[in-house]
Amino acid sequence: MSRAIIFDVDGTLSETEETHRRAFNRAFEQAGLAWRWDQALYERLLAVTGGKERIRYFIDDFDAAGVPPGDVDAFIRSLHAAKTIAYTDMVSGGEVELRPGIRELISDAQSRGFRLAIATTTTPANVDALLGVTLGGCDAFEVICAGDSVAHKTPAPDVYELALEILQLDAAACVALEDSRNGLLSSVAAGIPTVVTPGIYTRGQDFSEAALVIDDLAAQDFSAIYALTAPAA
């Protein structure tokens, strides 16, 4: 009787978005760009999932100053690679921690026989850095679907559908844990009952499609989360 919990990463496992924002700004400064993403702007930019996609959106809709002539896609890839290095350095330096209740949920779910997976649009390097610092590695998670492993990022369901395929489970045997509307739309489109734990950048978003919204995981016994799954034969 197999059941699984599929976790998003940024904003869900950890309040990493602020670290991402500062890492973007460090990469911009290193590239000699005058761009600076403050919190208000970054909240708007988070409507676009994926770091490279977010940079492209900023160039197209906000500020193209400093973009060199030629291959813009190559410029974006290079800039994003620098940002990933900056982010992983920050994470390795201890600048992030798990959100309250996450460590306990992982441990309790494992003790009850749940399989654990990750479905995220962030890069594998970012996932490895976060889990290495906070959990000592990725061993708790049987499946990790990250970065460009799918053609379409959230709110498309691709990354969750890939996780289900690898787990070889029906959506009804799983529950997803998300923090944003885009993530919620992705998991729900894949047919997975979803629990939302809003983060600092996503409070106030529309979570009407969620099976459950929990503001504070640390105050839960997790039974309501487990009850959303139907054991697979």
**Which residues does the annotation mark as catalytic?**
8, 10
How far is the C-alpha of 192 from the C-alpha of 163, rounded, in Å? 11
Alpha carbons 136 and 158: distance in angstroms, whole number: 28
CA–CA separation, 119 and 7 (whole Å): 6
Question: Cα separations (Å) of 141 from 48, 67, 144, 178, 233?
Answer: 26, 39, 7, 16, 21
